[in-house]
Amino acid sequence: MSAIIIGKVKDEHGCWGNMAPYPIEHDGELWLTTEALFQAMRFDEKEIRSAIRKEKSPMGAKMKAKRHKWQMVVEPMSDVDLDNMRLCLRLKVEQHPELRESLLETRDSLIVEDCTRRQRGSGLFWGAALIDGQWVGKNWLGKLWMVLRHAARQVRHQSGCLRFNHQQHPSGWEVVSQAV
């Protein structure tokens, strides 16, 4: 099975990474990247969230969050963190339809965030490393994209919209019919 590799933003499939420059709106605020929103969602403190949102680069947003790590209310790599990532990815494809179409074009390919060069910390949680020809790691970012791709296919085949509902649907996504 061929793999779609999420690597650097400039790479062929860099659009799937959280550092890619696809602004998203959430709760009436504009976020320059999914990385900025995702990092800010780990905090309750409005000043910290605002400081993260105002960062011009996604790496700046990530570093700002790290400087306030002790004030995080969402534990990195927890179930809540996964739910937040699901929401960020959904917002990204909802607000950038060209990404949804591009995601659907990947068919059934494995999607992997390549962390071969950073096999420590959260690298093997969000991504996987290519070791002896095998992908090793939890690859949650890739898995979430593949689940979202499956849900987007359902939306395409039904008259409906996609929403996140972790408690009602085991994948975290459900197709909701729209009133005609």
pLDDT on residue 40:
98
Confirm whether 179 is domain-assigned.
Answer: no
Residue 129, domain extent: 3-155
Q: What is the CATH number of the domain that holds 16?
A: 1.10.357.40
33-42 exposure pattern, b = at least 16 Cβ within 10 A, e = fewer:
bbbbbbbbbb
The distance from CA 78 to its chain's CA centroid, rounded to whole angstroms, is 14
Q: Which pTM value belongs to this model?
A: 0.86
Residue type, 98: E
pLDDT of residue 118: 87
Q: Does the pLDDT of residue 160 top 70, yes or no?
A: no
Mean pLDDT of 56-73: 98
Q: How far is it, in rounded angstroms, from Cα 175 to Cα 169?
A: 10
For residue range 79-100, what is the model confidence (pLDDT) as tens digits?
999 999 999 999 999 999 999 9
Tally of structural domains, the chain:
1
Q: Is residue 80 part of a domain?
A: yes
pLDDT for 100-132, tens place per residue? 999 999 999 999 999 999 888 899 999 999 999
Residue type, 156: R
pLDDT at 174: 55
In a domain, 136, yes or no: yes
Q: 176 lies in a domain?
A: no
The reply to whether 70 falls in a domain is yes
Per-residue pLDDT averaged across 55-80, rounded?
Answer: 97
Instruction: Confirm whether 164 is domain-assigned.
Output: no
Sign of the alpha-carbon torsion through 110, 111, 115, 116? positive
pLDDT band at 179 (very low <50, low <70, confident <90, very high): very low
Cα gap 94→63, rounded to integer Å: 27
DSSP 71: G
Q: Using the predicted structure, report yes or no on whether residue 176 has a pLDDT greater than 70.
A: no
Residues 6+ apart with CB under 8 A from 161: 155, 175, 176, 178
